Structure 1
Amino acid sequence: MLETFLQFEFLRNTFYTGLIVGIIAPLLGTFIVVRRLSLIADGLSHVTLAGIAFGMFMQKKFALLAFSPFYTGIGFSIIGAIIIEYLRSIYQSFQEIAIPIILSVGVGLSVIFISLADGFNTDLYGYLFGSVAAVSRENLYLIIGIAIFIIAAIIFFYKELFALSFDEEYANVSGIHARFIHLLFIILTALAISASIRIVGVLLVSALMTLPVAASIRIAKSFKQAIFLSILFGELAVLSGLISGYYFEIPPGGTIVIAAALILGLTLVFRRKK
């Protein structure tokens, strides 16, 4: 495998992207789980799918414009994140309803655009379940930029995110601009999901944001330790999933999720015995 890795650029791009995704997805997932917003990843991933299908439709209808489904997916994901935050501000007492609303709209748009783009094909299958050959050098550079932005934003606004995650009322009293932090956080989540779809796939990306976190909080003794362990488990899942996906010639998304689920199972057994 090492010779093949050094020979083919797309494998190196996939490997580097996997390492990046293994950091940013569990990193944001820790805050998502603590805030009890685990389903938000599903909602945004389906909106991203709608954006990808829209990009494929535009490629078919206006081939000379060369719309990239990856970029339209990012755009739709960010728009979906902004709409979710807007709906949460409207339904103050029922904020969780914003997620199924945007998820339903995303599924509906996906069906329409996929039908207009002549249905399922190999490219769409790769976006749904991940692919070891889907990451170009241009995609890699964009994903690196997204990861730098996400990590920098979390470091800079860590105290605000921590306060809002555990005690929103106290955070508001303390003078934190809660609305801005909420919007920033959900946009960061949208960017992380968009960056992860090339490796894990649209339908499985939420698992990478929750399973490593679910494993880490079983054994972590502090919030920062939970972040560290979730990133560690995420990297282990991504690396084992990519390697097994390469050897068995299957989409890496499924193997990554199963690896993460096995890690979660091991932590549950370990915790029970302890």
Structure 2
Amino acid sequence: MNLFDVLSHQYMQYALIGALITGLIAPSLGIYLVQRKMSLIGDGIGHIALTGVGVGLLTGASPVLTAIIVSALGAVAVELIRERGRTSGDMALAILFYGGISGGVFLVQLAPGKSNANLTAYLFGSPLTLNPTDLVVMGVLGACVLAVTLGLRPWLFAICQDEEYAKVSGLPVRLLNLLLAVMTAVTVTVAMRSVGLLLISALMVVPVAAAQLVSRGFRGTMALSILGGLVAAGAGTTISAGFNTATGATIVLTAIALFVGVAAVTAVLRRLRRPAPAPVSAEPPECALDC
């Protein structure tokens, strides 16, 4: 199946658009999480978002809306615990991780008429079922995330580098931290239909890791990581259609392949640019003869 055949189907067009929205916003937020050494927070938020999905399925409400509310509350709780230092960040993340996924599975199984297929669709993504309404919701939420990650970039960069200095400079550190936590929850929720709750964290981190191999500046790294996210999302969706594989997993594997390729190329270029060692003279230096 060639690219034209893939894109000729409307459901594939919707799937590609949804994947591109995810590939655009995930690295733009992930770069801040990487800077704060909280790369795995996306996993924790993804697991607690599953509880929100379960609440929606059980009550008949929109799973997207309940997932946003529950995951945002969980993200804020973790941020406040981390800030006040009552327990370690790792402990809070572990509670979020296991409690979230357990609560989600429990509630989904209680929902009437629901099966494990519904659970799998949210965990690993189901982009082929996207419709125009889903894309509008994803687009609006994605625009909100980009407005924060790009519009507040200097402030968010400051708190990620040195919170104490940011406080002295007069920045609203707590508000920015909470805003970043909520945007993480929104990003995870946007991606749950296209990539999946269990895989979105990889799309937040891997393109950023690849960009850091090439760029040293924050602005350049952000631009390259967003480009990498778009390439991985677009190529992964197309490959998954051609080989009939899971879209979310294929997107993540494409991102990892991109990282490996960039790492290999940069390693070769670094070796080629390494200056040749100075030739060693066979004769002893004059000072040695004088001595």
Question: TM-score of the superposition, structure 2-length normalised?
Answer: 0.85
Aligned residue for 2:150?
A: 155
| Letter paired with 1:163 | A
Please, what is the CA RMSD of the aligned residues? Answer: 1.8
Asked if 1 retains the 8 angstrom alpha-carbon contact of 2:19 and 2:233, the reply is: yes
* Correspondences of 1:101-116 after superposition (within 5 Å): 101-116=95-110
Return the alpha-carbon distance in structure 1 between the equivalents of residues 83 and 31 of structure 2: 23
Q: Deviation string for 1:244-269 (max 9, x for gaps)?
A: 11122222011011101111111221
1:200 and 2:201 correspond: no
Q: Deviations over 1:73-104 (max 9, x none)?
A: 22221121121122223326733432222222
Conserved? CA contact 1:126–1:251, under 8 Å: no
Q: Larger Rg: 1 or 2?
A: 2
In structure 2, what is the equivalent of residue 227 of structure 1? 222
> Per-residue deviation at 1:24?
0.5
Q: 1:250 to 1:54 in 2, by over 3 A?
A: farther
Once the two structures are superposed, the pairs formed by residues 1-274 of structure 1 within 5 Å of their partners are 1-2=3-4, 5-8=7-10, 10-59=11-60, 67-91=61-85, 94-117=88-111, 120-273=115-268, 274=270
> Bigger shift: 171-180 or 77-86?
77-86
User: What SS class does the counterpart of residue 203 from structure 1 fall into?
Assistant: coil
Which amino acid counterpart does residue 181 of structure 1 have in structure 2? Answer: L
Structure 1 Cα separation of the partners of residues 87 and 110 of structure 2:
38
Question: Matched residues in 2 for 1:116 and 1:214: separation?
Answer: 40
CA contact (8 A) 2:50 2:105 kept: no
Structure 2 contact 105–119 (Cα < 8 Å) conserved: no
Larger helix proportion, structure 1 or 2? 1
Q: Distance in 2 between matches of 1:130 and 1:154?
A: 24
Contact 2:43 2:201 in 1 (8 A): yes
What is the CA–CA distance in structure 2 between the aligned matches of 1:214 and 1:134, rounded to whole Å?
31
Q: Which residue matches 1:62?
A: none
CA contact (8 A) 1:132 1:251 kept: no
| Whole-angstrom CA distance in 1 between matches of 2:204 and 2:158 | 20
More moved, 116-125 vs 80-89? 116-125
2: CA distance, partners of 1:153 / 1:101: 28
Contact kept? 2:124, 2:199, Cα under 8 Å: yes
CA deviation vs aligned residue, 1:95-142 (integer Å, no higher than 9, x gap): 343222222220221231133137743332221111231222111111
Q: Deviation digits for residues 211-261 of structure 1, max 9, x if unmatched? A: 111111111121111111111111111111101111222220110111011
> What do residues 2-25 of structure 1 show as CA deviations (whole Å, max 9, x unaligned)?
3563452x3222221211111100
- Aligned counterparts of 1:266 and 1:155: Cα–Cα separation in 2: 27
Moved over 4 A (4+): none
Distance 1:105 1:144 in 2: 30
Query: Aligned AA for 1:266?
Result: G
Q: Counterpart of 1:106 in structure 2: which amino acid?
A: G
Measured in 1, the distance between the counterparts of 2:144 and 2:71 equals 16
Q: Distance in 2 between matches of 1:221 and 1:87?
A: 32
Whole-angstrom CA distance in 2 between matches of 1:4 and 1:111: 34
SS of 1:133's equivalent in the other structure is helix
Q: TM-score, normalised by structure 1?
A: 0.90
For structure 1, the 5+ residue unaligned runs are 60-66
CA distance in 1, matches of 2:136, 2:41: 26
* Cα distance in 1 between the residues matched to 2:114 and 2:140: 32
Inter-CA distance 246–7: structure 2 relative to 1 (3 Å threshold): closer
Q: Counterpart in 1 of 2:274?
A: none
Give the Cα separation in 2 of the matches to 1:78 and 1:137. 25
Report the residue type matching 1:110 in the other structure: G
Secondary structure of 1:199 counterpart: coil
Q: How many residues align?
A: 266
User: Paired residue for 1:63?
Assistant: none
